[in-house]
Chain A
Amino acid sequence: MDAIPLLMNGFSQALTAPNPLSALIGCFLGTVVGVLPGIGPSTTVALMIPISFAMNPATALIMMMGVYCGAMYGGAITSILINVPGEASSVMTAVDGYPLAKQGRGGVAMVLCQVGSFIGGTLSIVGLMIVALPLANLALQFGPAENFSVMFFALILAATLISESMLRGITALILGLILASIGTDLQTGIGRLTMGVPELLDGIDNVVVIIGVFGVGEVLWYAVSTYGKAEATLERIGAGRWIPNRKEWRAGLGPIFRGSLTGFLTGLLAAGSVLGSFLSYSFEKRLSKHPEQFGKGALEGITACESANNASTGGALIPLLTLGIPHSGTTAVLLTVLTMYGLKPGPQMMIDQAPLMWTVIASLYIANVILIVMNLPAVGVFIKILDVPLKFLMPIILVFASVGAFSINSSLTDVVLVLLFGVIGFFMRWSGFTPVALVLGMVLGERLEQSLRQALMISSNGGLIFLTKPISLVFLLLTAAIVAVDLLTRKKGRVADDSEG
C-alpha cells in the first residue's frame, strides 16, 4: 500500500486555494444546519448541487464533506441547550445533555461533546484508510436477516435501559413502532394508516416526532407547571461554567473512545449514525458504576453518543468509496454528485480517481480540525442562551421547532404534526412515559419491519433463517444473554433498593 504518499498528495491538494476556504464554508454551513433542527445534511448537500456546477470537483466535494461533518458537530448544541435534538442521532445527547444544562453544566457538556466529536470523527477517518476494504466486504455480509438481528439487538438493549416502569417503556416503544408503520409499505407500495392525507404517504419524518415530543413537549410542560406562579417569571437556567474539570475529563474520555469504535462499525450499516448513538449510550450505561445517573445528566452518555454519531461518517463512506454503493441519506446524494462530475462511481473509483479520492479523505481530517477550532470558542457564545429567562426562551423554542419542522419538506402538515406530537410528549411526561422509548421504536421500527419481511421472503425455511445465518445468530444470542443478565441484576437491584429504603 502506498497510502502515505497518496494521502500527502491529498493534503497538498486540499490545502491549495481555494480549497481551504471551501472547507471552511462547508464546515460553517454544516454546523448551522446541524444546529437548526429540521433540514439535515443530505438536503443541504443536495441544495448545493447547482452551486457546485461552477466549481471543480475537488473544491465542491471538500465543501460537501465539511457540511457532512459539521452537521454532526452541530447536532449536540440544541440538544443540550434547549432539549431539541435536530437529528435522530442526537436524541440520546438531549436525554442527558439537557439535565446537565439545568444543573449549570451545559457548557461543560458542550465542550466534551465537541472534543468527542473531533476524536470520533478523526478516528473514523483513520479507520476508513486502514481497514476500508475488509470492512466493505464485511458490510456486504449484512443481509436482511443480519440487519434484523442487529436492529432487534439495539432495540432490546436500549429498551431494557428504560429505568422506570417496564410496562410503560414497552407501551411507548410499541406506540413508536406503530408510528413507524405509517406511510407507504415498501414491499407492496400501498399506503398504510395514512387516513387519506397524501403527505403521510411518505410516513412521518423522525425529526418531526423528535422535535415534537422533546422540544414542544418541554415547552408545554414548562407552561403548565409554572402556570399562575409569580416567582417563575424571571427564572432562568443560567450559563454556568464551561471548562470541564479534571474529573469531568476523566468521565468523558473512556466513552469517547468506545463510542468512536461503535459508531465507526455501525456506520457501515444503513441508519448507522442512529444505531451507533443508541448502542454506545446503552453500552456506557451498562459499563457505568452509577447507571442511575444516566438520564439525569451523565457526561458518559453524551460523549459516547456524540463521538459515535461523528465516527459513523467514516464508516458510512466506506461502502460508497470502495464499492460505489451508497446508504440512503447523505452518501446517496454524494453519489449523485460524483456522477454529475462524470466520475463513474463504482468499485474502480478508488483506483481510477485516486488523487481526487485521497483529496477528499484529506479534507475530512481538515474539516474535523476546522470544526473543533471553530466550535470550541463558540460554546462560550451559545451558552449565553441559557441566561435568557425561561419565559422568553420557551416561546423561542416553539418558533424554532415550528420553523424546523416546516424546513424538512416545506409542508405545513409537518408543523401541525410537530405541535400534535408536542401535546403527546406533554402527556407522556405527565403520566411518566419516556419519550425516548417512543422515538427509539419510531426510528428503528421501519427498518426492523422491512428487514424482517425481506428476510422471510428470501428464506427457504421460514423463521429459521435468523438462526442459520451466523452473524444473525450471534446477535440474537447476545440479545438473549443481555436480557438474562438484566433479569438477574434487576432482582438483585430491587433487594438492594429495599434495604436502602
Chain B
Amino acid sequence: MLSKTFRVALAILAATTLVLVSEQVNAQQAYPTKPVQLVPAGSPGGGLDIHARAIEQALTVEKMLDKPFTVLHKGGGGGNLLTSYLVNQKGNGYVIGINSNRVLLNELMGTIEYGYKDLTPIARLTTEYECWAVRADSKYKTALEVMADLKKDPTSVTFGVGTVPSDDQFNILLPAKKNGVDYSKIKIVAFDAGGDAMAKLLGGHVPVLSTGFSEAITQAEAGKVRILSVSSPTKLDRVPKVPCWKDLGIDVAIYHWRGIYGPQDMPKEAYGYWIKKFAALVKTKTWKGSLEKFELFDAFLPGEEFKEMLAKDNEIYRELLGPMGMLKKGKK
C-alpha cells in the first residue's frame, strides 16, 4: 500500500504536470495573443491596399481571424518604407507586410540597401498578368510582327508602360531578349500610370502598350484595342484566342505577383502560423470571389518555395538590368 503522504504527493505532481502541459499547449495555441499589424506598401485605394482589405475581409467572413488586424499603410518610397519598417521590426512576430517584386528591384537599383534576404518571405498570394495591346486599327496583328520589326531595328517600335522599373517593362525586355533582340536599345516610355498609358495608346501617341491585362481587357471587349499576347504560362479563359508567350515559341511567363513578407528572424510559431493561415485562406470562397472581382489570379507559394522564386527572379533581373545601366554600381 502506498502511504497517504505519497499518494497526496503523487496527486499534486500529476496535477502540476497537467497544468504545465496544458499551459504549454495553451502557449502554442496562443499565437497570436494580440492584434497583428498588416502593412501594405501602398496608400489607401491602391492595389496593395486592396490586397490588405481582401485578406481582412476573407478571414473575417470565413471566421478564420483569431485576432483582429490593424492595417497600417506604408505607401511611398517605391515600397522602401515598408522594407525599412520591417527591417526595424527584426524578430517581431506581430507585423506582416504586403509588397511585390519591388523588394528585389529597389535593392538592385540601389534605392535601398536591404533586399529580400533581410526579410522573411511568408507566401506569394496572387498574380496579375501582363499583355501587349495595340489600337484596333493598328498594322500589327500579332506580337511576332512587332518582334520582327524589333529584330531589324530595336528602336523602330516605341512601347508605352505605366511605370519603370516594372513588370510592364519586363514584359517587353524578357521576350525580346529570348528572341535575340538587343533589348537595351528598345524605346520604352513611362507614363503616369496604367490608365494614363492606355489613354496615350488610344490617342495614337504610342504604337504598342505593355500593360496589366485588367487595364486592357475592358478596352479590348469594347473593340477599341487588340490584345496581341498575354504573359501567363497558358492561355487565359477570358481571351481564349490570344496566345501566351509560350504559344509563340518564346519561353517566358511573367507574373505580376504580390506576396506577404515578415521581419527577419520572426518567431517560428508566427512564421508557421501565417503559412498555414494563408494556405487555408486561398482556398476559401470569399477570397476566390475577391480575386475574380479584381481580375487577379491565385499564385500561392508558401515560405521556402516563395524564397527560392525570389532568389531566381533576383538573378533574372540582375542579368536584365545590367546591360541597361540600371544596376547600382557594385551590383553587377
Which residues does A use to contact B, with CB under 8 Å?
42-43, 45-47, 49-50, 53, 139-144, 184, 186-191, 198-199, 201-202, 270, 319, 323-328, 332-333, 335-336, 339-340, 342, 344-348, 409-411, 450, 454, 457-458
- Complex A-B: 29 CB contacts under 8 Å: A43-B45, A46-B49, A49-B53, A139-B199, A141-B203, A142-B203, A143-B200, A188-B326, A189-B105, A189-B164, A190-B326, A198-B84, A199-B81, A201-B77, A201-B78, A201-B111, A202-B77, A327-B196, A332-B195, A336-B46, A340-B294, A346-B222, A347-B218, A348-B218, A348-B222, A454-B190, A454-B191, A457-B158, A458-B205
**CB-CB contacts below 8 Å: B39-95 with A:** 43-46, 49-50, 53, 57, 73, 75-78, 80-81, 84
B192 contacts the other chain (Cβ, under 8 Å)? yes
What B residues does A326 contact at CB under 8 A?
A: 195
A332–B215 Cα gap in the complex (Å)?
A: 12
- CB pair A409 B75 closer than 8 Å: yes
- CB pair B43 A46 closer than 8 Å: yes
The residue in chain A whose Cβ has the minimal distance to the Cβ of B202 is A140
What A residues does B119 contact at CB under 8 A?
A: none
Proximity bits, B16-55, A CB within 8 Å = 1, else 0: 0000000000000000000000000001111001100100
A53–B196 Cα gap in the complex (Å)?
A: 27
A187–B326 Cα gap in the complex (Å)?
A: 11
With contacts A339-B293, A458-B158 taken as known, whether A190 is within 8 angstroms of B109 at the C-beta atoms is yes
- CB pair B187 A457 closer than 8 Å: yes
- CB pair A347 B293 closer than 8 Å: no
- CB pair A333 B45 closer than 8 Å: yes
B184 contacts the other chain (Cβ, under 8 Å)? no
- CB pair A342 B158 closer than 8 Å: no
- CB pair A328 B193 closer than 8 Å: yes
Beyond A49-B53, A411-B76, 9 additional pairs, beta carbon < 8 A: A46-B44, A140-B202, A140-B203, A143-B204, A190-B109, A191-B111, A348-B221, A454-B190, A458-B158
- CB pair B192 A270 closer than 8 Å: yes
With contacts A50-B53, A202-B76 taken as known, whether A144 is within 8 angstroms of B293 at the C-beta atoms is no
What A residues does B191 contact at CB under 8 A?
A: 454
B275 contacts the other chain (Cβ, under 8 Å)? no
Proximity bits, B161-200, A CB within 8 Å = 1, else 0: 0011100000000000000000000010111110110111
CB distance from B71 to the nearest CB of A (A): 9
- CB pair B111 A43 closer than 8 Å: no
What A residues does B187 contact at CB under 8 A?
A: 457-458
9 tightest Cβ-Cβ pairs between the two chains A and B: A346-B218, A46-B45, A143-B205, A46-B44, A140-B203, A347-B222, A333-B45, A198-B77, A201-B77
CB distance from A382 to the nearest CB of B (A): 29
- CB pair A270 B196 closer than 8 Å: yes
- CB pair A458 B189 closer than 8 Å: yes
- CB pair B195 A198 closer than 8 Å: no
- CB pair A144 B200 closer than 8 Å: yes
What B residues does A141 contact at CB under 8 A?
A: 203
B224 contacts the other chain (Cβ, under 8 Å)? yes
The residue in chain B whose Cβ has the minimal distance to the Cβ of A446 is B192
Partner of A49, one of B45, B165, B206: B45
CB distance from B30 to the nearest CB of A (A): 29
A140–B205 Cα gap in the complex (Å)?
A: 9
A50–B80 Cα gap in the complex (Å)?
A: 25
B112 contacts the other chain (Cβ, under 8 Å)? yes
The residue in chain A whose Cβ has the minimal distance to the Cβ of B324 is A188
- CB pair B205 A198 closer than 8 Å: no
CB distance from A140 to the nearest CB of B (A): 4
A142–B191 Cα gap in the complex (Å)?
A: 13
By the criterion of a CB under 8 Å from any partner CB, how many residues of chain B are at the interface? 48
A49–B49 Cα gap in the complex (Å)?
A: 10
A456–B187 Cα gap in the complex (Å)?
A: 11
A201–B102 Cα gap in the complex (Å)?
A: 14
B219 contacts the other chain (Cβ, under 8 Å)? yes
A339–B214 Cα gap in the complex (Å)?
A: 10
CB distance from A457 to the nearest CB of B (A): 5
Q: Which of B84, B200, B205, B224 has the most CB atoms of chain A within a 10 A radius of its CB?
A: B205
With contacts A47-B44, A189-B164, A202-B76 taken as known, whether A328 is within 8 angstroms of B224 at the C-beta atoms is no
A49–B191 Cα gap in the complex (Å)?
A: 26
- CB pair A198 B165 closer than 8 Å: no
Partner of A347, one of B50, B76, B206, B224: B224
What B residues does A202 contact at CB under 8 A?
A: 76-78
Q: Which of B77, B84, B163 has the most CB atoms of chain A within a 10 A radius of its CB?
A: B77
A140–B199 Cα gap in the complex (Å)?
A: 6
A333–B294 Cα gap in the complex (Å)?
A: 14
CB distance from A278 to the nearest CB of B (A): 20
- CB pair B81 A344 closer than 8 Å: no
CB distance from B106 to the nearest CB of A (A): 9
Partner of B112, one of A43, A198, A458: A198
CB distance from B197 to the nearest CB of A (A): 10
What B residues does A409 contact at CB under 8 A?
A: 75-76
A395–B324 Cα gap in the complex (Å)?
A: 52
- CB pair A332 B193 closer than 8 Å: yes
- CB pair A340 B293 closer than 8 Å: yes
- CB pair A187 B190 closer than 8 Å: yes
- CB pair B193 A344 closer than 8 Å: no
What A residues does B222 contact at CB under 8 A?
A: 346-348
The residue in chain B whose Cβ has the minimal distance to the Cβ of A459 is B158
The residue in chain A whose Cβ has the minimal distance to the Cβ of B83 is A198
CB distance from B207 to the nearest CB of A (A): 9
A413–B128 Cα gap in the complex (Å)?
A: 34
A43–B49 Cα gap in the complex (Å)?
A: 12
CB distance from A47 to the nearest CB of B (A): 5
CB distance from B266 to the nearest CB of A (A): 22
A196–B44 Cα gap in the complex (Å)?
A: 25
A450–B75 Cα gap in the complex (Å)?
A: 22
The residue in chain A whose Cβ has the minimal distance to the Cβ of B225 is A347
The residue in chain A whose Cβ has the minimal distance to the Cβ of B217 is A346
The residue in chain B whose Cβ has the minimal distance to the Cβ of A331 is B195
What A residues does B76 contact at CB under 8 A?
A: 199, 201-202, 409, 411
A51–B80 Cα gap in the complex (Å)?
A: 28
A450–B164 Cα gap in the complex (Å)?
A: 13
Partner of B198, one of A199, A325, A340: A325
What B residues does A454 contact at CB under 8 A?
A: 189-191
A319–B192 Cα gap in the complex (Å)?
A: 15
The residue in chain A whose Cβ has the minimal distance to the Cβ of B45 is A46
CB distance from A262 to the nearest CB of B (A): 21
What A residues does B111 contact at CB under 8 A?
A: 184, 190-191, 198, 201
A191–B218 Cα gap in the complex (Å)?
A: 34
What A residues does B105 contact at CB under 8 A?
A: 189
With contacts A140-B199, A141-B203 taken as known, whether A45 is within 8 angstroms of B45 at the C-beta atoms is yes
CB distance from A210 to the nearest CB of B (A): 19
The residue in chain A whose Cβ has the minimal distance to the Cβ of B105 is A189
What A residues does B46 contact at CB under 8 A?
A: 336
- CB pair B45 A201 closer than 8 Å: no
What B residues does A327 contact at CB under 8 A?
A: 192, 195-196
The residue in chain B whose Cβ has the minimal distance to the Cβ of A411 is B76
A370–B73 Cα gap in the complex (Å)?
A: 33
What A residues does B53 contact at CB under 8 A?
A: 49-50
- CB pair A319 B199 closer than 8 Å: yes
